[in-house]
Amino acid sequence: FRLTIKSNYSYTQDTCYAIYIQLNVIKKCGCYFTTLLNINNSLPCISSNQSACYLSVLKDLFQQDYKKKILNLCRKLIFFFIL
């Protein structure tokens, strides 16, 4: 992801997963989950409604087994960063 290039984080498969989660939280909740990467200059999820929203997003992603869904994308991106 270009977001990793612009950040101070080195690229790993776990970073890919974290970015995917964070983008979903930002898209659905309008804020970022504070224990993950702060991307897109979003505001943190601090209200009880925002917390409920990101917990719902996390639950949905884990129920969908999101890692399997994006595994190939993350693997391809690892090779991009290694080269």
User: What digits encode the pLDDT tens for the residues 26-71?
Assistant: 999 999 888 877 777 889 999 999 999 999 999 998 898 888 888 8
* pLDDT for residue 80 is more than 60: no
Give the pTM.
Answer: 0.74
pLDDT score, position 78: 57
Measure the CA–CA gap between 42 and 44, rounded to whole angstroms: 7
The DSSP string of the chain is -HHHHHSSPPP-HHHHHHHHHHHHHHHHHSSB-TTS---TTPPB--SHHHHHHHHHHHHHHHHTTHHHHHHHHHHHHHHHHH-
